[in-house]
């Protein structure tokens, strides 16, 4: 089988946004206009194609990233629709890692919201060129220009507004696009209405000025006073977008079927093909030798697994992006992260939860593999004869945990299997057993995240479980440097045990994690025991010393100690290093850290006083307030420990007329009195 679509006409894009900006509705319209589906399904009716999970249909939100492929103007567009809720940020992170471009959807009323900023930063981190789609311009309070204040380039301006919204002006062609039927299929391209012409010309001039700067030929022509043709403008817009010099902005209302086709045109015209992005760079496994692979079918096969999903019909699905080369079903690949060969059973093209068999995939393709046993998110798959290891995907640490136990004996074994499968799928979901109590604890990014996990256990694995109250994932650290001395001696008649470690523990940079430094000279601790020393320190810090929470952002320098020719062992040095680090922590002014959430509350003005007073009572720090149409917005930093049950409290406080969003901002010290309570509680348990 040969390649059906040239690489230059392939687009790998993600639809990203804050929750409720209309991403899934936009994707549904894309599928409808590209004739991938023939009937529109609405999110509020639980019938959207890409929201296929029962939990998504019931809650009206996207929970898992769904992939599909469609065609527009001879271009193949691989799309990943991502969640907007902060609890499922892992789905955005892993999608952007493998995509070449993105459409960022904004709510025309709310404008830039907290999660909009988060996904924008994520796209910046992976250098993903993007276009913006200002959605919901049919709604009361919609304000296009307020939404684009932060964006340099403007591609479209609205005609009419709120419920009179009827079309857009194309500033490249200087034509008006009017939608004449409810499905948005009948389009008239007409001259710009006289009432809008002056405004359109003003904005076109601004756009031309910005676009002319990206290309010397265009700059020269512009400075000579010559008009730029639509083709030249499109060339400049493409160059500037690919270089992230500016971001084209389009207007529309997906729900009212307006503005989606011009947005699809912009995807094909301005977003990159795999040939437009830099070659993928990796290393030869086991070395630091750099390996470069370009997007070319003739290169050795190179791909990255970005998602694992359990399918009830075909088993484990490994979603992957091909960066170079080709792969046929039935062939072998090397998982260079694990150093193991795997046989590819089947290759599938995914359309939400529907599958289509493929014989072969090519550079630039996104698909799913069946038959891989040892491959997980972030693993590199490559040609066994030409190994390469790509940078893996990193994910945030969980901030909340709950105790979980099976309801019956029959549920016990099933629960273990279910939790293991779900943890394989979701890198931000963790399962561990409390060493002292033997209880099973599950950790995730928020209450909704863990609610969905427990719901999936019941539906997909038929496991009934009792879930405890949410607990905050606290951390510990130290404020100053201190020395620790650990000496473990045991004499029981036969061979004894002896290990002696002296170390210095000090604060590390924020977010740097744990750092181990070996400064042993003169063989006071033999080399063969240093690995045991490091493990002893790591394990002790992970279980917590001060209040029983993992200790982070510390540096341990081992610089002295002693050993016994006969009695020393790895176990003795592991215990001695644990004793030394405990000794150091006691003297290093330890503190407890708690997750601080960036909270944004939107409400009618009459509830401002009550909401701010309530946030202050939750140890919140109000950072700012502003107006958003007819509503007020309060931004604050609030400890996660104070936010449990906030949704219910906010509803009753504002007669159900307020909404809020929150995301992890940073970790901060717990105030002294509360920290002492946590320490006392830990010591009692």
| 620-647 pLDDT, tens digit each | 999 988 887 677 889 999 998 898 888 7
Q: Give CA angle at 281 (275, 286), nearest 5°.
A: 150
pLDDT tens digits, 31-67: 888 888 776 655 545 455 665 566 655 556 666 677 8
Residues 543 and 563 in one domain: yes
Tell me: do 606 and 653 sit in the same domain.
yes
| 598 sits in which H/E element | strand 590-603
Residues 562 and 485 in one domain: yes
Give SS3 for 225.
coil
Which of 588, 607, 630 is at the close of a domain? 588
Note the pLDDT tens digit of each residue in 111-142.
777 677 778 878 888 889 999 898 888 887 77
CATH number of the domain encompassing residue 53: 3.40.50.300
Q: Look over the chain and give the mean of its residue pLDDT values, rounded to a whole number.
A: 84
Check: CB of residue 187 under 8 Å from CB of residue 168.
no
Closest by CA to 128, choosing from 104, 150, 112, is: 104
Asked whether residue 196 is assigned to any structural domain, the reply reads: no
Whether residue 20 lies inside any domain: the answer is: yes
Q: Which of 588, 623, 656 is the last residue of a domain?
A: 588
Q: Are 406 and 468 in the same domain?
A: yes
Q: Which residue, 419, 322, 300, is CA-closest to 368?
A: 322
Lookup: tokens for 523: 């063989």
Three-class DSSP labels, 547-564: CCCCECCEEEEEEEEECC
Whether 291 and 422 map to the same domain: the answer is no
Least confidently predicted of 306-310, 360-364, 485-489, 503-507 = 306-310
User: 33: part of which helix (H) or strand (E)?
Assistant: helix 23-33
| Residue 168 near residue 262 (C-beta atoms within 8 A) | yes
pLDDT, average across residues 245-260: 84
Which residue bears the tokens 């046989």? 343
CATH no. for residue 561?
A: 3.30.230.10
Is residue 518 pLDDT above 70, yes or no?
yes
- Is 139 in the same domain as 256? yes
What percent of the chain shows pLDDT beyond 90? Answer: 29
Query: Could you give the count of Cα atoms lying within 13 Å of 237 in the half-sphere of its Cβ?
Result: 28
pLDDT value of position 531: 92
Model pLDDT for residues 201-243, shown as the tens digit of each residue: 888 888 888 888 888 888 888 888 888 888 988 888 899 889 8
Residue 185 has pLDDT above 60, yes or no: yes
List b or e across 17-27, with b for residues whose CB sees 16 or more CB atoms inside 10 angstroms: bbbbbbbbbbb
At residue 111, φ and ψ (nearest 5 deg) are 70, -140
The CATH number assigned to the domain holding 404 equals 3.30.70.870
Judge contact between 551 and 591, C-beta under 8 A. no
Q: Which residues contact 309 (CB under 8 A, 6 or more apart)?
A: 64, 316, 317, 319, 368, 425
Pair 154, 233: CB distance under 8 Å? no
Does residue 238 lie within any of the structural domains?
no
- Size of the chain in residues: 685
| pLDDT cut 70: percent of the chain above it | 90
**pLDDT value at position 629?**
66
Closest CA to 644 of 618, 672, 607, 611: 618
Does 369 share its domain with 355?
yes
Torsion of CA 303, 304, 307, 312, to 10 degrees: 30
Say whether both 468 and 491 belong to one domain: no
Residue 4 CB neighbour total at 10 angstroms: 8
Q: What is the pLDDT of residue 615?
A: 94
Residue with tokens 């990159």: 272
Would 203 be classed as within a structural domain? no
Q: Which domain holds residue 334?
A: 280-390
Judging by DSSP bridges, how do beta strands 430-433 and 440-444 pair with one another?
A: antiparallel
Shared domain for 36 and 97, answered yes or no, is: yes
For residue range 575-585, what is the model confidence (pLDDT) as tens digits?
Answer: 999 999 999 99
Q: Which two tokens stand for residue 397?
A: 């640490």
Domain check: are 130 and 259 in the same one? Answer: yes
Q: CATH number, domain at 664?
A: 3.30.70.240
- 325 domain-assigned: yes
SS3 328: strand
291 within domain boundaries: yes
Instruction: Report yes or no on 225 lying in a domain.
Output: no
Q: Within a domain: residue 582? A: yes
Assign residue 295 the CATH number of its domain.
2.40.30.10
Nearest residue to 26 (alpha-carbon basis) of 15, 36, 18: 15
Helix (H) / strand (E) element for 311: namely strand 302-311
Q: 16 falls in which pLDDT band (50, 70, 90)?
A: confident
In this predicted model, what pLDDT tens digit does every residue of 138-183 receive, in sequence order? 887 777 777 776 444 333 444 444 444 567 788 888 888 887 666 6
CA 308, CA 328: separation in Å to the nearest integer?
A: 20
Q: Residues near 72 by Cβ (< 8 Å), separated by ≥ 6?
A: 33, 34, 264, 265, 267, 268
Contact yes or no for 616/597 (Cβ under 8 A): no
Provide the CB-side half-sphere exposure for 52 (13 A, CA).
Answer: 13
394 φ/ψ angles, rounded to the nearest 5 degrees: -100, 150
User: Are 121 and 264 within one domain?
Assistant: yes
Residue 155, classed as helix, strand or coil, is coil
Whether residue 115 sits in one domain with residue 183 = yes
Does residue 263 contact residue 248 with C-beta atoms inside 8 Å? no
Last residue of a domain, one of 346, 367, 390: 390
Alpha-carbon distance of 295 to 279, in angstroms, equals 7
pTM: 0.73
Say how many domains are in the chain: 5
Residue 263 tokens read as 């947005």
Q: How many CA atoms lie within 13 A of 153 on its CB side?
A: 30
Q: Is the pLDDT of residue 311 over 80?
A: no
DSSP-H helix ranges across 366-429: 409-425
Residue-wise pLDDT tens digits, 69-90? 889 999 999 988 787 666 777 7
């Amino acid at each position: 089988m040969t390649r059906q679509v040239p690489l230059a006409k392939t687009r790998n894009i993600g639809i990203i946004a804050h929750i409720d900006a209309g991403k899934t509705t936009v994707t549904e319209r894309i599928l409808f206009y590209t004739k991938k589906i023939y009937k529109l399904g609405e999110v509020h009716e639980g019938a959207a194609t890409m929201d296929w999970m029962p939990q998504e249909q019931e809650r009206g939100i996207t929970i898992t990233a769904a992939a599909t492929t469609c065609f527009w103007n001879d271009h193949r567009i691989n799309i990943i629709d991502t969640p907007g809720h902060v609890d499922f940020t892992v789905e955005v992170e892993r999608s952007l890692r493998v995509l070449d471009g993105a459409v960022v959807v904004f709510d025309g009323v709310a404008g830039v919201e907290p999660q909009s900023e988060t996904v924008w930063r994520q796209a910046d981190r992976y250098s993903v060129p993007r276009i913006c789609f200002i959605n919901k311009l049919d709604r009361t309070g919609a304000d296009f220009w307020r939404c684009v204040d932060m964006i340099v380039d403007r591609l479209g301006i609205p005609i009419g507004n709120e419920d009179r919204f009827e079309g857009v002006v194309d500033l490249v062609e200087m034509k008006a696009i009017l939608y004449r039927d409810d499905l948005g299929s009948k389009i008239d391209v007409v001259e710009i209405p006289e009432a809008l012409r002056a405004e359109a010309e003003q904005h076109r001039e601004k756009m031309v000025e910005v676009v002319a700067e990206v290309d010397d030929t265009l700059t020269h022509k512009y400075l000579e006073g010559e008009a730029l043709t639509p083709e030249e403008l499109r060339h400049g817009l493409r160059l500037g977008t690919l270089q992230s010099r500016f971001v084209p902005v389009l207007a529309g209302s997906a729900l009212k079927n307006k503005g989606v086709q011009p947005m699809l045109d912009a995807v094909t015209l301005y977003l990159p093909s795999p040939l437009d992005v830099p070659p993928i760079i990796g290393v030869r496994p086991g070395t630091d030798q750099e390996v470069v692979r370009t997007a070319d079918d003739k290169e050795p096969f190179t791909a990255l697994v970005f998602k694992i999903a359990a399918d009830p019909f075909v088993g484990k699905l490994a979603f992957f992006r091909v960066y170079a080369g080709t792969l046929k079903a039935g062939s072998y690949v090397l998982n260079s992260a694990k150093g193991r060969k795997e046989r590819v059973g089947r290759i599938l093209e995914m359309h939400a939860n529907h599958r289509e068999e493929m014989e072969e995939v090519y550079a630039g393709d996104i698909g799913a593999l069946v038959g891989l046993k040892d491959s997980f998110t972030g693993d590199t798959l490559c040609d066994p004869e030409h190994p390469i290891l790509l940078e893996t995907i990193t994910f945030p640490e969980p901030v909340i945990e709950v105790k979980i136990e099976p309801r019956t004996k029959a549920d016990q074994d099933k629960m273990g299997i279910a939790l293991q499968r779900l943890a394989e799928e979701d890198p931000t979901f963790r399962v561990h057993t409390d060493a002292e109590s033997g209880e099973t604890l599950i950790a995730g990014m928020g209450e909704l995240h863990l609610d969905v996990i427990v719901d999936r256990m019941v539906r997909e694995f038929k496991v009934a479980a009792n879930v405890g109250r949410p607990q905050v994932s606290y951390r510990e650290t130290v404020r100053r440097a201190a020395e620790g001395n650990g000496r473990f001696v045991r004499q029981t008649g036969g061979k004894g045990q002896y290990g002696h470690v002296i170390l210095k523990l000090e604060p590390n940079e924020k977010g740097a994690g744990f750092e181990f430094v070996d400064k042993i000279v003169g063989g006071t601790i033999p080399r063969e025991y240093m690995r045991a020393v490091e493990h002893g320190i790591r394990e002790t810090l992970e279980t917590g010393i001060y209040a029983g929470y993992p200790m982070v952002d510390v540096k341990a320098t081992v610089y002295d100690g002693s050993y016994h020719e006969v009695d020393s062992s790895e176990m003795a040095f592991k215990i001695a290093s644990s004793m030394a680090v405990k000794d150091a922590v006691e003297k290093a002014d330890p503190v407890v850290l708690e997750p601080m959430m960036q909270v944004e509350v939107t409400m009618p003005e009459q509830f401002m006083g009550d909401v701010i007073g309530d946030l202050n009572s939750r140890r919140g720090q109000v950072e700012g307030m502003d107006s958003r149409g007819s509503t007020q917005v309060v931004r604050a930093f609030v400890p996660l420990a104070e936010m449990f049950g906030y949704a219910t409290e906010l509803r009753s406080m504002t007669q159900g007329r307020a909404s809020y969003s929150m995301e992890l901002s940073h970790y901060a010290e717990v105030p002294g009195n509360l920290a002492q309570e946590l320490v006392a509680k830990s010591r009692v348990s």
